[in-house]
Structure 1
Amino acid sequence: MSNQPQLIDKVLRLLAEQNTEKVKLAITDMDGILRGKLMSFEKFSGIVEKGFGFCNVVFGWDSADVAYDNSQYTGWHSGYPDATAVVDLNTFRQVPWDNETPFFLADFCDSKGKGLEVCPRSLLKKIIGQANSNGYTPYFSQEFEWFNLQDNTEELYNGKFRDTRPMTPGMFGYSLQRVAQKNDYFNDLFDLLKKFGVPIEGLHTETGPGVYEAAITYSEVLEAADRAVLFKSGVKQIAHLHGVIATFMAKFNENLPGCSGHVHQSLWSTAKKQNLFYDNKKTTGISGLMESYMAGQLTCLPFILPMFAPTVNSYKRLVEGAWAPTTLTWAIDNRTTALRALPGSSSSTRLETRVVGSDSNPYLAMAACLAAGLYGINNKLKLKTQPTVGNGYADIRNGTLPRNLWEATQAMKTSPIAAELFGATFVEHFTATREWEWRQFSKVVTDWELKRYLEII
């Protein structure tokens, strides 16, 4: 797992010509959060071929930097040593809102140079390898909804994260009026992210106060996941420059719609450069291979849900009547089902997996989509039911999704399917991190409990 000498020479020569003094490097942890450092150009030149040491605690703590006590991979028992991270020079970008500072993503590898089993980006690359070996080139993209708040960071912490104020009031989906009120921010998102190598296909307001939605331009799946991770981080940084806090929580407010992170996907023939999801001989336009791909996702969904819905908060989005699915359903262009098939032309036919929340780790969400789809193809699975007609919430022919993080995690932890798709080492580590997340939530006395019980009980 190292870079080609020609590519190394090309990148170092380019950076030297730009008189580069420092470089940003980043990896993605289990929660999809970018963790990184600023490195001198001299140091970067010395590690670019074989990698550098990065404390493996990034896979041993949660989003609040609290160390897990149930991780076998690392912990106090291991002393939190460095793991080897190798720069992926193909991810080279420059940060337009930070003086064009060069930026790279890195992967973790083990002592033998193979992708680290608990590393989300390495997991996705492993699944991509399986697709490629079958002659498939996966094309993916992710779209995100998120709330934009007026509060600055100091106000949030002083107020204990209460009384937040949306950037704009009212339910203004697809509103040009609300966009015009924050025109500089809106246009900076579109323009700066494009310069950052994260092109946006569409950007608009969504239903809810201060809510935006963006669809990232599709690409091969690894690039799509990189773009999605960098989109979320980039949006937060650009928002900060405008006095805004961007949150990708799946359910920011119980009285408002949740925020999705739908994943669009198709498989193309590597040899023939054709969309294998499209079949013009069928009245639906959907190929038999796409049907098997969907059947695989529906079969696997109950056992991989934490990769789409990774937090306690995720499951407060997955409720009836909130534009998020609750049943194991599929249909053509139906926004109430788990899978929304979008047949069209040979270039546009694709699947939208609507279970995925905006709080997901894009590497894990896309790895889960692709692995489950390949499972259906490899096992020649057929769709058990006809497409849902009308309200997907009422269609329970195939069953329903797990209702909370604990239930979903236990289903994944004990599932032979999950172990087959991702490997036992990854499943053991990832489900332990989700059990930890549930434990942290379960011990907290909430405002709801105090208001409900303090005086009356």
Structure 2
Amino acid sequence: MTVQEILAYIKEHPANKVKVAIADIDGVLRGKYISAEKFASVMEGRIGFCDVTFGWDVGDVAYDNVKFTGWHTGYPDALVKLDLDTFRQIPWENDIPFFLGDFLDHQDTPAYTCPRQLLRKIQTEAQQAGFLPYFSQEFEWFNFAETPESAHEKGFKNLKPLTPGMFGYSILRSSLGSEYMNDLFDLLTKFGVPIEGLHTETGPGVYEAAIKYAPVLQAADQAILFKTAVKEIAYKYGIMATFMAKFSEDLPGCSGHVHQSLWDKNAKKNLFYEESDPEKMSELMKNYIAGQLYCLPHILPMIAPTVNSYKRLVEGAWAPTTLTWGIDNRTVALRALPGSIKATRLETRVVGSDTNPYLALSACLAAGLYGIKHKIKLQQPATKGNGYKDLSHGVLPQNLHEATQRMKQSPIAKELFGEQFVEHFTLTREWEWKQYAKVVTDWELKRYFEII
């Protein structure tokens, strides 16, 4: 729609308001409603939004260790520029108009703390190199027959899953509560988040969805809107959806695998495909894979951002632990899917469902481009068989603290994302680890209370 058509739609909409949102560092959408009149005055300008958005954690507790904002700055308003290309209607809210925005700093330039601005920057670098990145992210998540109130009352223990038992790809179970599943598929598509596939995954009440591929920024928009939209649609049915990477030690974790390919600037040719290669993989694709393998230990917090992330990245839990790649192998970090001229792509399997899509896609793309820029040869052979046992090229950092220190000290991370972003982001991850480290857990009480 043109600017004039958008404005006309909003003026004619009976709600007389617009919903706007931005993504914080954890991938949580923070937003508000504004009047149609207010929107008309800022739609091609700027709107004020308190910069505490990048000064607190997921629990709204203010960081005490970042420079961008804090008590030392007085938490002023930052500027948000709405992206009119993200216009969509929210079908479960009477088609209220909705927009995403980008944070600017106080000099009206892209804020180094803004995840969407970071992905814009890396997308531009790819385009300047002659590439059009196409990406998609798929998600697994648990669904519980609970409300926020009942889950809090239970202390998040003994929650009732939407369906019992382990039943992946179940036609039977997907018919139980089919109204919810059908609403997910239909309403998400109407919301501009086109779903290619939706099914039950192994685990009680677990679903998996594949989102249609798109240019990388649009793909990240779709992914972040998917996570919030699923939760909002679930609320309608008295259901809580969680995208935690590992809900239970006894159950598989939840992935957020990223699929990616590079095309020519006219989107006519998949540059990862090579007919003459025995595996149908171009040298460009091999450079891209080599770049990711090389960079993964330096950027891991961007694709495993929480304490909980690393409880998914354990042997035998359908998530990788080693620096490996393979062809159609689900036990490695990078799963190459060559063959078709249209569908040849790379799947980064380290990524969990708890990620900020803007940061996860930024990490994958920047690392792959690093391999192309530096012409890194894919000398590491493809892993065949069990990738968990292939330790020949190293393993991933095993917790958030270890991974954060590696990224914080990495010149590669700073080259890829800029020193200011790396400093801010790693400080937020240090904060996250500090909050975890001071908590006395149920495990400690059960293990030590009586015996020690």
Specify the TM-score bucket, using the shorter chain as the normaliser. Answer: over 0.9
2:279 to 273, 280, 284: 284
1:125 to 108, 120, 142: 120
**Alpha-carbon deviation of 1:47?**
1.1
Partner of 2:72: 77
1:223-264 CA distance string (max 9 Å, x none): 100000000000000001011100000000000000000000
Partner of 2:85: 90
Aligned partners of 1:377, 1:57: CA distance in 2, in Å? 37
**Alpha-carbon deviation of 1:271?**
4.0
Partner of 2:353: 358
Is structure 2 residue 336 aligned with structure 1 residue 341?
yes
Is structure 2 residue 35 aligned with structure 1 residue 32?
no
| Native 8 Å contact 1:7 1:89 kept in 2 | no
1:289 aligned partner, one-letter code: L
User: In structure 1, the residue corresponding to 2:189 is in which secondary structure?
Assistant: helix
Is structure 2 residue 62 aligned with structure 1 residue 67?
yes
| Native 8 Å contact 2:10 2:17 kept in 1 | no
Partner of 1:215: 210
1:370 to 344, 353, 365: 365
**Alpha-carbon deviation of 1:396?**
1.3
**Alpha-carbon deviation of 1:272?**
6.5
Aligned partners of 1:84, 1:10: CA distance in 2, in Å? 25
Change in Cα spacing, 1:19 to 1:243, as seen in structure 2 (3 Å) is closer
Percent of aligned pairs with the same residue? 65
User: In structure 2, the residue corresponding to 1:97 is in which secondary structure?
Assistant: helix
User: In structure 1, the residue corresponding to 2:396 is in which secondary structure?
Assistant: coil
Q: For residues 302-317 of structure 1, what are the structure 2 equivalents within 5 Å? A: 302-317=297-312
**Alpha-carbon deviation of 1:8?**
3.2
Partner of 1:49: 44
User: In structure 1, the residue corresponding to 2:365 is in which secondary structure?
Assistant: helix
**Unaligned regions of 5+ residues in structure 2, if any?**
none
User: In structure 1, the residue corresponding to 2:241 is in which secondary structure?
Assistant: strand
User: In structure 2, the residue corresponding to 1:312 is in which secondary structure?
Assistant: coil
1:386-423 CA distance string (max 9 Å, x none): 10010000111210000000000000000000000000
1:6-52 CA distance string (max 9 Å, x none): 94333212322445500000000011000000000001111111111
Aligned partners of 2:311, 2:13: CA distance in 1, in Å? 48
2:288 to 272, 284, 293: 293
| Native 8 Å contact 2:10 2:18 kept in 1 | no
Q: For residues 416-431 of structure 1, what are the structure 2 equivalents within 5 Å? A: 416-431=411-426
Aligned partners of 2:165, 2:417: CA distance in 1, in Å? 43
Partner of 2:251: 256
Aligned partners of 1:7, 1:112: CA distance in 2, in Å? 29
Aligned partners of 1:15, 1:39: CA distance in 2, in Å? 11
| Native 8 Å contact 1:326 1:393 kept in 2 | yes
Is structure 2 residue 174 aligned with structure 1 residue 174?
no
1:313-369 CA distance string (max 9 Å, x none): 000000000100000000000000000000021110000000000000000000000
| Native 8 Å contact 1:88 1:107 kept in 2 | yes
1:70 aligned partner, one-letter code: N
Q: For residues 365-444 of structure 1, what are the structure 2 equivalents within 5 Å? A: 365-444=360-439
Question: C-alpha root-mean-square deviation of aligned residues, in Å?
Answer: 1.0
| Native 8 Å contact 2:48 2:79 kept in 1 | yes
| Native 8 Å contact 2:141 2:244 kept in 1 | yes
| Native 8 Å contact 1:94 1:103 kept in 2 | yes
| Native 8 Å contact 1:135 1:271 kept in 2 | no
User: In structure 1, the residue corresponding to 2:280 is in which secondary structure?
Assistant: coil
Partner of 1:3: none
Count of aligned pairs between the two proteins: 452
TM-score (norm 2): 0.99
Partner of 2:236: 241
Aligned partners of 1:397, 1:289: CA distance in 2, in Å? 24
User: In structure 2, the residue corresponding to 1:65 is in which secondary structure?
Assistant: coil
1:409 aligned partner, one-letter code: T
Is structure 2 residue 129 aligned with structure 1 residue 134?
yes
Partner of 2:144: 149
